[in-house]
Amino acid sequence: MASFRKLFRLIGREPSPADDIAAEFEAHLELKVEALIREGLSPAEARREAEKSFGPKARFAAECGVIDRAERRERRWRESISGALQDLRQAVRALIRSPGFALTTILVLAAGIGLNATVFALLRGVVLRPLPFPHSDRLVAVHSSNPVSGWPEFSVSPPDFLDWSREAKTMSAMVAWNTDYVAATGSGPAEEVPIAAVTAGFLAVTGVAPTLGRSFNPGEFERGGPRVVLLSYGVWAGRFGRDPHVVGGRWTLDGESYEILGVMPSGFTFPIDRIGAWVPFRMPENVARQRGAHYLEVAGRLADAATLDRARAELVTLAARIEKDFPASSTGWTVLVRPLHEEVVRDARPTLLLLMTGVGLLLVLACVNVANLVLVRSIGRGGEVALRSALGAGRARLLWHGASEVLVLLAASALLALPIAALGTGLVRKFAPAGVPRIESVGIDPVAMLFTLGTTAIAALLVGLAPARRIARADVRQALAVGGSRSLGARRGSHRWIVALETAVALALLSVAGVLIKTRERLNVVDPGFDRSATLVADLSLPDKRYPTGDALSRFQDDLLGRLRALPGVESASLIFGLPLTDFGFSSSFTIDSVPVPDDVHQSAQLRLASAEYFNVQRIPVLQGRGFTAEDRRGGRRVALVSAAAARRFWPDGKVLGHWVRMSASPGDDSPSGEIVGIVGDVREERLDAPPRPIVYFSSDQTTVSYVTLALRVRGTPLALAPELRRIVTALDPELPLSRVRSMDDVVRAATASYGFRAWVMGFFALLAASLAGIGVYGVISHIVAQRSREMGLRRALGASDRQVVREVVGSGMRDAAVGAVAGLGLGWLITLKLGDLLFQVKPGDPVVLGIVAVLFLGITLLGCWLPARRAARNDPALVLRGE
């Protein structure tokens, strides 16, 4: 009898609580009536008496109703939970029974989700994260700007900075700085440390105080003030071993002793590079005369009520006033203001957005593949779905049942995706091109994990959508009929979508990777103007204290070059101030034959100092006249060389030699100057993907400078000579740090590293996509072929040739692929349109690239269609028909 009730429930025809209660009450009343009749009452009286002694029926019914309905609700809830759990357990068991399917889908999905999490962590850590300063959104970078002269973004001159910081009301504080490399000695081996000399606004702008010790006092910025230094956390940890008593100690930089004031907190860095220490910037003595000398970087903090636009407007107005007051030095100069965060991330952002697009598409592809696998798998179980539906399972229950496998798969994928993402970020930290800001702190944190979860949810939707739609529309009767499990098969329509979609994604990624790879190749074959092979370079910083005069510098440099030339491995040795492709920019306006330049004309070129053999070392040809020789000595007749670009630009009549140039950047008699004795070949010294800039070379003998780069042409491998080089330098001066010893190949590679990075990574994504898509298409076509095997067997039995069958399958598959290809190429083109600067000598719709890519992939697709079709055509039609 108990089972009767349960059977009712199973079939879903449980009586409503109200009916149940009414029946119960009625039964009671009947019994009472009968008893009263037995006592002698008439039926009508008995009924009246029974109802009376029962009491207010409606009220009791209502109370019971409330109780029963609550019970039912709870019971249904419990049952659905336990049913859902049961489905999950079943799903897990079913997946364990098909390990191939389970492992494949989990791996594919985990890879897709994990890659997305990696790129997201990158995007977040490098681009999206705010700068490590309080209220960092109020910080701005300020540049001088002279667009007419071709300097849209330039350094700032000290008098300009002083005027702005004094008068700008929209800025609560401004700071200027200059970065430099100094030789650090004492308490450790001689080492080169990047430092920043900052003005007094340092604390106010950054808003960060030292964790140990104190920041600068105003007196320490005066000329003649004490030499003090603030350490970065990294230097404190690395060089001073986290000594808590370091404050008050001393540190020798470039031969001068500095008192250590304090240590900045961990993670603090300003401006943004790996600055090791901060010292006060001392304004030069005759600062007012330096309005044309632009060498400071400037940042500011907006005042409380100010906006970026108002600050910009105010500074532009100030600059206009300065331009009016000082036409000689400031004509054409205005101001460019940008949020500091923007400044830091603008280079990295396009690359990361590109990567994000790539992994996003890959995930879609992975999900489509998995969705297809799940779909195929669910087709075989159509009968089970139908049975459950017949037994009363509601739509929701059926959906859950169908979805439970997908959910288990995705849960497992998400778990696996996290270590993959952690590995990915580790690899990126290790192999990312130099100069990516803030990359050290990129990692998988809670936000990245949340993102992973979100991606997983989206993936679940994408993967589960198709099977869910099938269930929602399942016709139960049809499914239970004979041959039902196959007839519940997905209509051909959804499979065609899959082929088209996979082709589209693969081609989009392939075309993007194609243009990036071509860009890389173009960069590789660009002639930089010098011969990068067999060249060893190293940077040398000669402290003023020990080499106070030009003569001292010259003597040392001659000595060094002489010893280096004597080495058997060295073909020629030279010095250069301003090695190409090292982010070195030192430009200066100049005069020709002392002819004053009108205020609104800008005549400037890159200034370089080179020793006599430099052009030999770098194999830069002398096009006219001569190069520097040993006769161009210090104190002798001053000479200069110009690059071909300079000759073309400033001497269009071709008469270059003999003119006298003077670089009027620094006032006073020691501006480099000389008679032009030759024209040398152009060098792309700023970047390979820009035309060469005009350069004026002076002899490094005649104009000495304390920071130079050694450039040696060697016999054999450049780096093999590095130990010898170090030995010789140390022998000459043990306290001289030699830094960045590398080959010219390394320099060029580093300069184009980000192009290579993009090409490699997107190439990898494209390869993955092509593989996934190829396998996916193969799988889909195989499935279609299997589904239609009866039909095809029949046709072949009726006389259709093998070739016809194959042709038909391949034809329909390729048609879908063609549609997808067009869409994919279109999508790829759209993406490459946004690439802009990331491309070099390649147009977004480059037909060669697109052509190669399309042919390649359609070839893969063809194979994916042809193989299963051929298999089908070889099956014995009799077997196929009988096998039904």
Which of 72/274 has CB closer to other proteins? 72
| Least distance to other proteins, CB of residue 8, Å | 10
> Of 1 and 434, which has the nearer Cβ to other proteins?
1
List interacting residues with other proteins (CB under 8 A).
1-2, 4-5, 20-21, 23-25, 27-28, 30-32, 34, 53-57, 60, 63-64, 67-68, 70-71
CB of 43 to other proteins, least distance (A): 15
To the nearest whole angstrom, how small is the minimum distance from the Cβ of residue 391 to other proteins? 23
Q: How far is the CB of 85 from other proteins (least distance, A)?
A: 22
Radius of gyration of the chain (CA): 40
Q: What is the dihedral of CA 131, 136, 137, 140, to 10 degrees?
A: -90
> Kindly report the CA angle at 404 between 402 and 408, in degrees rounded to 5?
140
Nearest alpha carbon to residue 622 among 643, 652, 645: 643
**Minimum distance from CB of 80 to other proteins (Å)?**
19
Name the token pair of 46: 């008995």
Q: Smallest distance from the beta carbon of 90 to other proteins, in angstroms?
A: 29
- Which CB sits closer to other proteins, 57 or 310? 57
Comparison of 26 and 600: residue with beta carbon closer to other proteins: 26
> What's the min distance (Å) between Cβ of 106 and other proteins?
43
The answer to whether the bond into 132 is cis (omega within 30° of 0) is: no
User: Could you tell me the CA-to-CA distances from 445 to 121, 124, 421, 441, 449 in Å, in that order?
Assistant: 8, 10, 11, 10, 6
**609: Cβ contacts below 8 Å, ≥ 6 apart:** 575, 576, 577, 578, 672, 697, 698, 699, 700, 703, 704, 705, 708
Query: What count of other Cβ atoms lies within 10 Å of the Cβ of residue 454?
Result: 14
Nearer to other proteins, 25 or 497 (CB): 25
Strands 639-643 and 622-625, sheet pairing? unpaired
Report in angstroms how near the CB of residue 94 gets to other proteins at its nearest: 35
Alpha-carbon distances, residue 200 vs 205, 295, 301 (angstroms): 9, 17, 13
For residues 409-444, one letter each, b for 16 or more C-beta atoms within 10 angstroms of the residue's C-beta and e for the rest, the string is: bbebbbebbbebbbebbeebbeebbeebbbbeebeb
Helices (H), 432-483: 446-472, 476-480
Of residues 73 and 242, the one with the C-beta less far from other proteins = 73
- Taking the complex as a whole, the smallest distance from the CB of residue 22 to other proteins amounts, in Å, to 11
Least CB distance from residue 84 to other proteins, whole Å? 23
Residue 123 has what DSSP assignment?
I
Question: Cβ of residue 25: shortest distance to other proteins, in angstroms?
Answer: 7
- Residue 51 or residue 675: which is nearer to other proteins going by CB? 51
Nearer to other proteins, 50 or 474 (CB): 50
- Burial pattern 767-783, b for ≥16 Cβ within 10 A else e, equals ebbbebbbbbbbbbbbb
Kindly report the length of the chain: 884
The span from the CA of 164 to the CA of 141, in Å, is 13
> Smaller CB distance to other proteins: residue 61 or 308?
61
How far is Cα 388 from Cα 763, in angstroms, rounded to an integer?
48
Closest distance to other proteins from the beta carbon of 86 (Å): 23
Minimum distance, C-beta of residue 59 to other proteins, in the bound complex (Å) = 8
Q: Which is nearer to other proteins, 63 or 559 (CB)?
A: 63
User: Which residue in this structure is represented by tokens 């589904």?
Assistant: 787
**CA–CA gap between residue 431 and residue 443 (Å, rounded):** 14
Q: Which is nearer to other proteins, 55 or 847 (CB)?
A: 55
Smallest distance from the beta carbon of 16 to other proteins, in angstroms? 14
Cβ-based nearer residue to other proteins, 8 or 431: 8
- The CB-based long-range contact list for 314-317 (8 Å cut-off, 24+ gap) reads 314/168, 314/169, 314/170, 315/142, 315/164, 315/168, 315/170
Distances, alpha carbon 485 to alpha carbons 379, 382, 449, 472, in Å? 7, 5, 40, 16
Closest approach of Cβ 2 to other proteins, in Å?
6
Residue 572 DSSP SS3: strand
Residue ranges in 123-208 assigned as alpha helix (H)? 158-167, 202-206
With respect to other proteins, which residue has the nearer C-beta, 36 or 762?
A: 36
| Alpha-carbon 376 to chain mean position | 37
Query: Which residues have CB under 8 Å from 646's CB, separation 6+?
Result: 605, 694, 695, 696
User: What is the biggest distance separating any 2 CA atoms in the chain, rounded to whole angstroms?
Assistant: 149
List the one residue out of 397, 398, 409 whose CA is nearest residue 373.
409
In angstroms, rounded to a whole number, what is the distance separating the alpha carbons of residues 844 and 850? 10
Are the beta carbons of 78 and 381 closer than 8 angstroms?
no
Contact indicator for 812, 805 with CB cutoff of 8 Å: no
SS3 content of the chain, % helix, strand, coil (to 5): 55, 15, 30
Nearer CB in complex with other proteins: 64/767: 64
- Specify the residue, 53 or 266, whose C-beta has the smaller distance to other proteins: 53
From the CB of 31, what's the least distance to other proteins, in Å? 4
Least Å from the CB of residue 67 to other proteins: 4
The amino acid at 727: R
Please identify, using beta-carbon distances, which residue of 30 and 527 lies nearer to other proteins.
30
Would you say 75 or 214 has its CB closer to other proteins?
75
